[in-house]
């Protein structure tokens, strides 16, 4: 596995695989990376409170990982080129065309 993007928080380590563009989270018990959802990603960002967001490759929107549902849910309908998180999970982004 080659890493395209990586982010870590108290909850764990997340990566985007360069070849598949799929998102994985490190599993401490099995010591392997488990795939998370079916979306492909450009970039990941995690916050200290454990929220993980990513930019989708299909539509460059921001999605958040919902562990209870084991799925990515849309956070914002605008197309973004960059995303990161700050204090308390606040999302900072750069929209296309800005």
Residue 93's pLDDT is: 87
C-alpha to C-alpha distance for 10 and 5, rounded to whole angstroms? 18
Report whether 19 contacts 35 (CB < 8 A): no
**How many domains is the chain partitioned into structurally?**
1
Do residues 81 and 61 touch, judged by C-beta distance below 8 A? no
DSSP lists the bridge partners of residue 74 as 63
- The pLDDT assigned to 27 comes to 94
**Residues spanned by the domain of 85:** 3-95
Q: At 59, which CATH number?
A: 2.120.10.30
Instruction: Give me the pLDDT at residue 48, please.
Output: 67
pTM, to two decimals: 0.84
Cα Dmax for the chain: 43
pLDDT digits (tens, 9 = 90+) for 24-35: 999 999 999 999
End-to-end CA distance of the chain: 34
């Amino acid at each position: 596995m080659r890493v395209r993007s990586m982010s870590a928080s108290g909850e764990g380590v997340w990566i985007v695989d360069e070849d598949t563009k799929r998102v994985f989270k490190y599993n401490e018990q099995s010591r392997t990376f488990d795939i998370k959802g079916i979306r492909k990603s450009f970039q990941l960002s995690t916050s200290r409170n454990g929220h993980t967001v990513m930019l989708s490759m299909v539509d460059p929107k921001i999605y958040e990982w919902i562990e209870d549902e084991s799925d990515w849910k849309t956070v914002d309908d605008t197309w973004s080129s960059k995303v990161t998180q700050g204090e308390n999970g606040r999302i900072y982004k750069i929209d296309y065309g800005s």
